[in-house]
Amino acid sequence: MRRAALVLLLAVAACKSRPPYASGYLGDYSQLKPSTRYANQWGWQRPDADFADYDRLVIDTVLINLVKGSPGEALGQDALRDIAKSLHGGLVASIEPYYDVVSLGGAHTMRLQVVLTDVTPAQPGRDAGIAIEAEAVDTVTGQRLVAAVSRLEWPYEEGAPALDPKRMEASYAEWGRRVVHFLDLHR
C-alpha cells in the first residue's frame, strides 16, 4: 500500500512539472525547467553543447499541433496556417539581422523547429495568448541542443480584435529576440 501511494505521489509530481500547454510534440518534458528569466516558459539545453560553434540557423516552417481543448481549434485550419506562416516570418525577420538564416543544414548550423500549440482569442474575462514548443537540433548529428515551451499573453481590451495582429506580431518578434539573446549569451 505504501509503495502504491509513493508511485501515485511521484506520478502527480511529474504531471505538475510538465508545462500546462504541452502538446506532446517534444515527447519528453521531464528535463524542462521553469525559466528564471521569462514567465510562462520552460526550457532545457544540452549541457555539453558549445553554442559558439553555431553561426547559422535553418528555421523550419512552423507546424501546428494544438493542445487538446485549445480555443484555437475554433479558428479553422486556414486561420491557423496564416498564424503559423506569420510566426515563421516574424522569427526569421527578428533573427536574421544577427545570425545567418539559411535553407540547408551543414557544419556550424542548427535547425530551429517551432510548433504552434495554442492560440487563445481574447474575449471578456479571458486574456489572449499564443503558445509554442520549440527545439533546436544540430543539422549534422541530429542531436537536440535546446528545447522550450513558451506562452505569451496579453489582456483583453474592449474594442480590440480577438487576435490583435500587432500583438501577435510582437509575440513572434519577442520569441525571435529570445533566440538571439540565448545564442548571444552562450557564445
Half-sphere exposure of 12 (CA within 13 A, CB side): 6
All domains of the chain in start order, with CATH? 21-185 (3.30.160)
* Statement: residue 1 has pLDDT above 90: no
User: What is the Cα–Cα distance from 56 to 164, expressed in whole angstroms?
Assistant: 32
Q: Cα-atom radius of gyration of the chain, to the nearest Å?
A: 18
The pLDDT of residue 101 is: 97
pLDDT tier, 8 (very low <50, low <70, confident <90, very high otherwise)? very low
Closest C-alpha among 90, 102, 119 to residue 179: 90
Query: What is the average pLDDT value for the chain, to the nearest integer?
Result: 87
pLDDT tens per residue across span 119-161 = 999 999 999 999 999 999 999 999 999 999 999 999 998 988 8
The pLDDT of residue 32 is: 94
What type of residue is 139?
Answer: T
pLDDT tens per residue across span 59-110 = 999 999 998 888 999 999 999 999 999 999 999 999 999 999 999 999 999 9
The pLDDT of residue 22 is: 84
